[in-house]
Each structure stands twice: as C-alpha cells, then as structure tokens.
Amino acid sequence: MFRRIWALVVKEFLALLKDKTSRMTLIIPPLFQLLIFSYAASFDLNQVNYAVFNQDPGIASRELLGYFKGSPAFKLTATLDHLGQVAPAVNEQKVLMVLHIPQDFTRNMLEGRSGQLQVIIDGRNSNTAMVLLGYINTIVTTFSTQWSQDHGWASPPAELKVRTWFNPNLESRWFIVPGIVGLLTLVVALVVTALSVAREREAGTFDQLLVTPLHPAEILIGKALPGIIIGLAEGSLIVFLTVNLFGVPMLGGLGALYLGMGLFIVSAVGLGLMISSIAVTQQQALLGAFLFLVPAVILSGFATPIANMPVLVQKLTLLNPLRYFLVIVRSVFLEGAEMSLLMPLYWPMAVIGVVTMIIAGWLFRNRLY
C-alpha cells in the first residue's frame, strides 16, 4: 500500500516540477511577493505631502508649523497664498492635507483663547485620513503642552498615559508581515492542489487512476502529500525570512508555530482538493479557487479586523482556516503564546482538514463524467 501511494506521490511531484515554467511558478512568485508585500503592506504613513496656507504673521503659527516640519512623516510641498488654491491641490492629489491658519491665530493664543487650526484632509482613502488625523493630533498636543508650560496656562486636571503591549511603537508592519506568512502559505497550497484533479479529469487520466487497484483514500493521500510537503517547505522558508530579513521578533516556540502551520496546510490542501474534485474543467477549478481564496483572505482579519464585521459574517469566518492560522502566527511571533493557549485555534483547522478531505475522496468516485 505504501509503495502504491509512494508511486503516486512521485508522479504528482513530477507533474508539478518537470515543467520549467511550472517549477518557476511555484518558487519565484511566493518569494518575490513576500519581499515586496512585506515592505508595501503597512498602514503607517511616512510620506505625507502637505501644503500650508498661513495667514497669520505671528510667532505661534511659526512655532506650530515648525513641529510639522520637524516630523519625519510629513513633507511640505507647497505654500499657498490664497484660499482658491486649496481645492485644486487636494482634488488633484498633489497634497494629502492642507494646514490653514487664520489671521488671528497668534493674537487669540496670546490673549488666552484657543487658536483655530483648520486641517483639510483628502478623505478618498478614509483609513489614511483617520491615521493622518491621529498623527496631527499627536503633534498638536505636543505643541499645546509646550505652549501651556511656556505661557503659564492651567494644566488639565488629569492626563492619559497610554502604554501598548506586544508592539510598543504600534508598527503595523509587525502585524502585517506575519499575516503575509499565512497568505502566501495558503496560495501555495491552493496552487499545488486546486487544479490537480481537474486536470486529470479533463485529460481523462483520472478515470484510469480510478480503475487501478488504488483505493480512493490512497489516491487522496497521494494527491495531498505533495501539497503538504511543498506548503511546509515554502512556509518554513517564508518564516525564516520573516525573522531574519524583516526582524519581526519571534517570541514563542517553533513547536506551537509548526503545529499550527501543519494543520493549516492540511486544511488548505483539503479545501483545494475539494474544489478540484467538484470542478469538471480546469477553468471551473480556477474559478473555484478564486471564489474561495479571495473571501478567505478578505475575511481572515489580515487587513481589516474580524471584530468590525457584522455578527453573521463573523460566524461565517469560523469556516475559514486562515482566520485561525493568522491569530496563531501573530500570537506566536509577537506575544510568545504557548501551545496550550492556542488549543482552541488548532482543532477547528483539524476539523476543516478532515471534513474537506473526506468530501474530496467521496467526490473522486461519485462525480464521474
């Protein structure tokens, strides 16, 4: 029995790797994408082009603008002379924000009243606008505190001291890069498996396989193993690069990570084989792969938190193995989570893997054309 499965595994590997384009497709894109995406995917802003429309000749506006100039995230690209220039600059995306300081800014502040700072932000990407607003508030608060001290203003009776756990600088890269580990591992597992049965169906060789002494379970194992092996190999490489190239701290143990990765790949391979055995043609299999892959990524909590989704959609994400794996990867990397703490995340993936494999195996025989 083992020899029969082994023969099938060898054949599957040959089918995947003997063609040069196919070999390249499996190795080059995931590594390049890890490299590029890890640098690209971040919610942090570090180059905000802004314009200043300053009508106030006084000292306060000059001091405040100095704070913006001194911040590395901001880049002054234009100084405006009249109000009419504001709209074109924002509309044409020359600047992301305009700081407008009215004439009486310094006078108000010297007389103990609040000076008005008008901030105009391009809201076409509302998340960028929100992040930017946070940056602006931080700068203005720093300036205000300094001004209060220098000019003897009453200090507020209470102050908020924020401390952040696990990711003190709130770098979204630390959150995103471990997520990319999950994304790419899923894509690799799908690429290897989603078309494999459909191709044989289309070529007619699957019928031949079914009339051999191989049991459907053996065919299933033979089809699943290459996906699992390639997925684990590429997953390990991606984790290695994440730690050594991107410097994301790995606080937890490899055991907890690999148990998660193994179960995740099994469930992804199961889903891929299930899609593949439902499809009659490779085009249908490709459509199926995308109909699974895209929602799986979007509803995984990779970029947008699951907690913000409506309750019904949150329930739907329970079927998504990537959802569990992302939490595992992030917990192991950033929080140093132990295996015991992650137990509630391991078993759903195992269940998804087993169920999809059983369905795929059943479809082998019961969906003949």
Site for other proteins, residues 55 to 94, rule: CB under 8 A = 60, 64, 90-93
For residue 95, give Cα distances in angstroms to 52, 74, 79, 213, 286.
10, 11, 11, 69, 41
Closest by CA position to 32, among listed 187, 173, 172: 187
Q: Which of 4, 13, 31, 33 binds other proteins (CB under 8 A)?
A: 33
* CA-CA-CA-CA torsion sign (324, 327, 333, 339): negative
Six-digit token string for 245: 């190239």
Which SS3 state, helix, strand or coil, does residue 255 take? helix
Smallest gap from residue 211 Cβ to other proteins (A): 23
* CA-CA-CA-CA torsion sign (290, 291, 292, 294): positive
Q: Answer yes or no whether residue 313 interacts with other proteins by CB under 8 A.
A: yes
Smallest gap from residue 130 Cβ to other proteins (A): 6
Q: Which of 70, 307, 366, 369 binds other proteins (CB under 8 A)?
A: 307
Residues 320-339 close enough to bind other proteins by CB under 8 A:
330-331, 334-335
**Vertex 253: Cα angle to 249 and 259 (nearest 5):** 120
1 or 125: whose CB is closer to other proteins?
Answer: 125
Query: CA 301 to CA 321: how far, in whole Å?
Result: 11
Closest by CA position to 12, among listed 186, 311, 214, 261: 214
Residues 112-151 close enough to bind other proteins by CB under 8 A:
112-131, 133-134, 136-137, 140, 143-144, 147-148, 151
Smallest gap from residue 1 Cβ to other proteins (A): 28
Q: Answer yes or no whether residue 319 interacts with other proteins by CB under 8 A.
A: no
Six-digit token string for 199: 């191709």
Q: Which of 6, 19, 249, 315 binds other proteins (CB under 8 A)?
A: 19
The number of beta carbons lying within 10 Å of the beta carbon of residue 17 is 14
Number of residues in contact with other proteins under rule CB under 8 A: 120
Which SS3 state, helix, strand or coil, does residue 77 take? strand
Long-range CB contacts (within 8 A, 24+) of 127-130 = 127/43, 128/45, 128/96
Smallest gap from residue 78 Cβ to other proteins (A): 15
Q: Answer yes or no whether residue 236 interacts with other proteins by CB under 8 A.
A: no
Smallest gap from residue 138 Cβ to other proteins (A): 10
11 or 215: whose CB is closer to other proteins?
Answer: 11
Q: Answer yes or no whether residue 7 interacts with other proteins by CB under 8 A.
A: no
70 or 213: whose CB is closer to other proteins?
Answer: 70
Six-digit token string for 15: 């089918």
- Binding pattern to other proteins, positions 173-202, x when CB under 8 A? -xx-------xx--x--xx--xx---x--x
Query: CA 209 to CA 13: how far, in whole Å?
Result: 16
Q: Which of 4, 31, 253, 295 binds other proteins (CB under 8 A)?
A: 295
Q: Answer yes or no whether residue 47 interacts with other proteins by CB under 8 A.
A: yes
